[in-house]
Amino acid sequence: MSNLNESLSQLIAVDGALCAAIVDSASGMLLGSAGGGVDMELAAAGNTEVVRAKVKTMRALGLDDVIDDILITLGKQYHIIRPMASKDGIFMYLVLDKSKANLALARRKVQEVEKTLQF
């Protein structure tokens, strides 16, 4: 049984969270989202390209490894992209207000939610 909404609720409850999403990186489509302030459909598609580019680069470099997370630091926001280890082709996406968020705690929460998310 899916706990997608519960997982999104946990992500959006992180201090400083603006929005969160679970994304299918095969299609770039949203499986679910919470919060606002960012066009999540556009962000899902764009960040799918970020994940694909990083995987392609890792292959080209011959790196035998996996992505734990990708952090994008903007002037006012942090964007955390975390591919799910247990579900290939799915990633979690969390947008944080930089002035209100604790990045270390947010990354830990995303890791924690990943372990409990089921489809």
Express each pLDDT in 35-55 by its tens digit. Answer: 999 999 999 999 999 999 999
From CA 43, how far away is CA 21, in angstroms rounded?
A: 9
Q: Is residue 8's pLDDT more than 60? A: yes
In the predicted model, what is the mean pLDDT of the chain?
A: 95
Percent of the chain with pLDDT over 90: 94
The radius of gyration of the chain from alpha carbons, rounded to an integer in Å, stands at 13
Can you tell me whether residue 53 is helix, strand or coil?
Answer: helix
Contact 70, 54 (CB under 8 A): yes
Mean pLDDT, residues 75-86 = 96
Q: Where residue 107 sits, what CATH number does that domain have?
A: 3.30.450.30
Cα angle, residue 56 at apex, residues 61 and 95 outer, rounded to 5°: 115
Which pair of tokens denotes residue 64?
Answer: 């035998």
Helix (H) or strand (E) holding 16: none
Q: Is residue 117's pLDDT more than 60? A: yes
What's the number of domains the chain is made of? 1
Boundaries of domain holding 65? 4-116
Q: How confident is the model at residue 108 (pLDDT cuts 50, 70, 90)?
A: very high
Cα angle, residue 59 at apex, residues 57 and 61 outer, rounded to 5°: 70
Q: Is residue 1's pLDDT more than 80? A: no
Q: How confident is the model at residue 2 (pLDDT cuts 50, 70, 90)?
A: confident
